[in-house]
Amino acid sequence: MKKILVTGATGQLGSELSALSSSYPQYEWIFADRTKISLDDFDKLSSQLNEIKPDIIFNCGAYTAVDKAESEKELAFKINHLAVELIAKYSTEKKVKLIHISTDYVFDGSSSIALYEESNTNPINVYGESKLAGEIACLKENPESIIIRTSWVYSNFGNNFVKTMQRLMQEREEINVVNDQIGSPTYAADLAQAMIDIVESPKWIPGIYNYSNEGEISWYEFALSIKEFGNYNCKVGGIPSSSYPTVAKRPNFSLLDKAKIKASYNLDIPNYKESLRKIFI
C-alpha cells in the first residue's frame, strides 16, 4: 500500500484532502501537522521524513501570513524555501513523488491577460519572494516534481475570505471590498481532488501547473456572490486598493490560465460560482 504524506494537514487544503481520503482507501494517508512535520527545524524534518517513509508527498504546509511575512522574512524563507528544498532533495534521493503547492503571488500583477506557467515571475511582497524561491529550489533538487500554483483559496475549514465575508455580512449593515484586484478563487476541495486525480493518473508529467476555479472576477464581485448565496441583507460597496492599505502589496491582476493542467490530466475545472454554492449547502 502506497503511503501519502500530507504536510500542513490542519490547513484548508490539508483538511480537504483529509475529508476526501476515506474515498481512497488504497492509500495509507499520513496527515502531518506541525507536531509531525517540522518545517522550521531541518534536523527534525529529515528524521521525520526518514521515519515516515512516504511514497508520495503533498506539500501543502507553508508560511502564509502575507502581511506578517514582511517583518518575519527569515521565517517565511525558512519554511517556504529551505524546507521545500530539503523535501525536494529527500524526494529525489528516495524516488518519492512530490506535489508542491505554490501561489499566484509569484507574479507582480501587471499583466492584463491570464497568466501562463511560463509568464514572467516578479513577486512584489516577501511571501511571494519566499514561495518563488521554494519553486526554484524544488525544481532544481527534484526536476520530476509537480508544482501547482493556486490563488484565493477558501474552504469550509480554516480562516479565509468567504468565512470572513459570511461573518461580516451578518454582523454589519454595510461593508466595502476592493474592486481593482482581479483573479479567480479556488475552492480547496476542488484542488484537493485535482491533486488526487494527478496521483491516480497513469501519467506523471513534472513541471509547474496553474489551478484555480474558472471565472475572472474582483474580490468585490466575489463578495457579491457570497452575499447572493448567503441571502444576506448587508450592503456591499466596491473600493480601490488604495482605500484599503495593507502591509504587503497584493498583485492587481493574478488570473491563472489553466489550459495546461486541464490538457495534461483531463481535468474538468468548475466555475467559481458552482463551487462557492457548495459552501452554502
pTM exceeds 0.75 for this model: yes
Rg (CA), the chain: 18
Q: Which residues are catalytic?
A: 127
Give the model confidence (pLDDT) of 191-200 as tens digits: 999 999 999 9
The DSSP code for 253 is: B
246-271 mean pLDDT:
97
Compute CA distances 201 → 187, 194, 257, 265, whole Å: 21, 10, 21, 7
Length of the chain: 281
pLDDT above 90: residue 127: yes
Write the class of the CATH domain 2-159+184-215+251-271: alpha beta
144-150 mean pLDDT:
98
Give the model confidence (pLDDT) of 55-107 as tens digits: 999 999 999 999 999 999 999 999 999 999 999 999 999 999 999 999 999 99
Residue ranges covered by each domain of the chain: 2-159+184-215+251-271
pLDDT above 90: residue 281: no
Pick from 38, 149, 138: nearest CA to 91: 138
Give the model confidence (pLDDT) of 7-45 as tens digits: 999 999 999 999 999 999 999 999 999 899 999 999 999
